[in-house]
Amino acid sequence: MAALHDFIDTEKTYQLVVERFNSDSLPQNNVVNKAIDMNPELIELILDLYNNEEDFPFEKMKKFSIEEILTYLQATHHYYLSKKLPEIEQSLVHIFSKYGQSHQLLATLAYFFNDYKTHLVEHIRMEEKELFPYIQKLIAASKQPADALKPTEKPNFSIQQFIDSHSPIEDELQEVSQLIRRYSGDESIPLPYKIFLNQVELFELELRKHAIIEDYVLVPMALELEHKLI
Ligand SMILES: [Fe+2]
Ligand SMILES: [Fe+2]
């Protein structure tokens, strides 16, 4: 996707990655506040992932703790819900105010985006309510002395269950950009649509990187912990 690469330069990528740690975009009195002290080495490595995911050195991630990875992912979820989604919605409102009468694409676009938003919020909620608390329990248990570990009944959640149900939520978003491009055909796309398109494409890229960290960094770490404990 050449257009997208032109749009994202190093400085923008850096901004995109560190923006989620700004204190005003973080929830108050939440565990996520710790993210402000995010390990700079981890941020550096995540930036590398944004720049080039093909040769990403996953083994280098092993030196960070699972808590650090979890904190990063939580801050990122919050950033999506409190900043990225509202920004995209704002653009959609702007397009409506300008082209509401004339473009039939809009109804489809708004429907699609709302539907997408529901799926994304559900996806994040499942991770926040089931996966992350489960991992936090594993972390807490791993810090207990071995003889203090009581045999517990089988938990009703497992990392394997997460692996089986973790859907590529970013793929759906790709359809939005395809929809606009298909509709526009050879005509030039009006500026507000271009802005919206850029936001959607950036967000799609963002969600892909997020899923890579979940699937290839967090999950292997959590599986290892689970195997030791359960
Ligand atoms: Fe997530
Ligand atoms: Fe996810």
DSSP string, 114-126: HHHHHHHHHHHHH
Compute, in angstroms, the gap from residue 170 CA to the centroid of ligand 2: 9
Whether 34 shows a pLDDT value over 50: the answer reads no
Give residue 11's pLDDT band: very low, low, confident or very high (50, 70, 90): confident
Work out the pLDDT band at 9, boundaries 50, 70, 90. low
Is pLDDT of 29 > 60? Answer: no
Of 34-38, 100-104, 206-210, give the lowest mean pLDDT range.
Answer: 34-38
Model's pTM, two decimal places? Answer: 0.84
Judged on CB neighbours under 10 Å (0-12, 13-18, 19+), 123 is middle
By the 8 A CB rule, do 175 and 112 touch?
yes
Tell me the ligand closest to 168's alpha carbon: 2
Smallest-distance ligand from the CA of 128: 1
The widest CA-to-CA distance across the chain, in whole angstroms, is 70
What pLDDT score was predicted for residue 15? 79
For position 90, what pLDDT does the model report? 92
What's the total number of domains in the chain? 1
Q: How confident is the model at residue 192 (pLDDT cuts 50, 70, 90)?
A: confident
Rounded to the nearest angstrom, the distance between the alpha carbon of 128 and the centre of ligand 2 is 10
Mean pLDDT, to the nearest integer, of 77-83?
93
Distance CA 61, CA 38 (A): 14
CA of 7 to the centre of ligand 2 (A): 25
- The whole-number average pLDDT for the span 59-83 is 92
Gap from CA of 126 to ligand 1 centroid (Å) = 9
Average pLDDT, the chain: 82
The parent domain of residue 87 ranges over 2-229
Distance CA 203, CA 206 (A): 5
- Distance from Cα 185 to the centre of ligand 1, integer Å: 34
CA dist., res. 38 & res. 72, Å (int) = 8
Q: In this predicted model, which residue has the larger pLDDT, 65 or 152?
A: 65
Residue 121 has pLDDT above 60, yes or no: yes
What is the rounded CA–CA span in Å between residue 188 and residue 196? 14
pLDDT bin (cut points 50, 70, 90) of residue 144 is confident
Task: Select the more confidently predicted residue: 28 or 188.
Answer: 188
Band of pLDDT at residue 153, cut at 50, 70 and 90: low
Which ligand is closest to the CA of 163, given by its number? 2
Cα 34 to middle of ligand 2, angstroms? 21
pLDDT of 74:
92
The predicted pLDDT at position 54 comes to: 81
